[in-house]
Amino acid sequence: YHVCMMRGVVFLDATLAEIRDLPDPARQRIGYQLEQLQRGRRPHSWKAINGLPGVYEIRVMFPDGIARTLYITMGEDDSYIAPLVTFVKKSNKTPKRILDKAKSRLRTLKEQGYDK
């Protein structure tokens, strides 16, 4: 048989609120992709974020556009998934304000001890 150890997910209140504010189809698809990460699988559509080592972007399509979540794995043996920021992207380039928000939230998580 197969044993599946699931990673934990650490949500900052602001990030969880961003996910909850997405339209239903986007929220469900982001949730499914985060669950895949918990199970040790790769999301369907993802990429590394330039300039933010270890940060990745999940992309999900829904009728009104493409929702994205920037996340990082943290902790001993990457035991946690930490979504940093969730947004609907309108252009090919990730806006600087989104990257700055991700950096700030990553600092907060590290200050709370999730990087150990």
Residue 26 lies in a domain: yes
Segments of the chain assigned E as strands: 8-9, 46-48, 55-62, 65-74, 80-89
pTM: 0.91
Residue-level pLDDT at 3: 61
Q: Which residue has the tokens 């270890």?
A: 54
Residue 77 lies in a domain: yes
Number of domains in the chain: 1
Other CB atoms within a 10 A radius of the CB of residue 107 amount to 10
Residue 32 lies in a domain: yes
Residue 2 lies in a domain: no
3-state DSSP call for residue 24?
Answer: helix
What number is the average pLDDT over the span 23-33? Answer: 96
Residue 3 lies in a domain: no
What number is the average pLDDT over the span 9-20? Answer: 95
Residue 107 lies in a domain: yes
Q: Is residue 99's pLDDT more than 70?
A: yes
User: Do strands 80-89 and 65-74 pair parallel, antiparallel, or not at all (unpaired)?
Assistant: antiparallel
Residue 37 lies in a domain: yes
The domain spanning residue 102 has which CATH number?
A: 3.30.2310.20
Residue 22 lies in a domain: yes
Q: Which residue has the tokens 């829904």?
A: 62
Q: What is the CA radius of gyration of the chain?
A: 14
**Mean pLDDT of the chain, nearest integer:** 90
For 40, the domain range is 8-112
